[in-house]
Chains A and B, each alone.
Chain A
Amino acid sequence: MELLVNQVLAGIATGAIYACMALAIVMIFQAIDHLNFAQGEMAMFSTFMAWQLMEWGVPYWWAFLLTLVISFAGGVIIERLLFKPLAKAPILTNVAGFIALFAIINSVAGLIWDFTIKQFPTPFGSSPFLGSQLISTHQAGMIGVTLALLIALFLFFRFTRIGLAMRAAAAMPESARLVGINTGWMVALGWGMASAIGAIAGILIAPVVFLEPNMMGGVLIYGFAAAVLGGLTSPLGAVLGGFLVGVFENLVGTYIPGVGNELKLPIALALIVTVLVVKPTGLMGHTVVKRV
């Protein structure tokens, strides 16, 4: 029993990573009604930028802030330059675009910073949290930041005019234009925000998984799974999904015999898919009523 509790707690701790990534994913989904497969790579690139700034002597929090601003701008620019021309193209073509972006960013990062693993500092330190052996102060910090982000996003969408405009533009773009909203810029803004959130996720994750161009691969998949599990329309669902996925992953690794690291992923995904078969819109998503 104690093992179970410990593994659950440890799962929640690692789940913070996925929760953070899932938030960025849901953020972009709120803005453009589909998912960006290159988001992990964008987060990785942002994290490398932060690392580079610190290598050049910029103190941690300044590097953090600067990276956020650059990531935000980067997200907006990428959307306006690369994806605005594809706005009228079919969805699958846009997906191909995301894949292309993924390949480009991954390759360029590898060229600039090569594939050797680098250390990334944490502002929270890595001592045991409140004396517990299971959660380090860094992991507690991750959970804290993720929750703070969640609250900030909730307030933004619920109580600001621009948050309302973004929600409207994502839900019904044509109706949004008919109330004077420039839907193109709402999408760009969504990308910028998702990029910034991704940067935060990357900066928090890097101390744990170590910095290298392929660091976000597994995280992105689990992040997607978490976002989908939570119901793609709900930031709270994304965070809950993230924690749940972390717990699933841990329990699968502990309790199912013969499962090495490689099989953890498909089994965790299979569990998630099972949940989806039972509840197709995810834990906290709402069923969309479609009129024919």
Chain B
Amino acid sequence: MTIEKTKTIDKIETVGDFKHIQVRERTDIVEDGQVISSSYHRWVIQPGQDYSNESSDVRAMCQQFHTQEVKDAYATFLAEQQALESA
């Protein structure tokens, strides 16, 4: 009997007005080739956030969607939000 744990990025999606990248990692516990348990772990990459430590697929998505125009627009939006919250 062999048991192993595998981790896979099983979902990468862009969401919202500013192309946030939502990433889901699936962890499978596999016994003799059969998945006996699975779980998810999630994180999000915002426009302008450092993504150099992400997987190649995630980096490719960030490069495609997080253009300078998107990053600038998101920075402006956040500044407006901060101003509203501080008012």
The answer to whether A and B interact is no
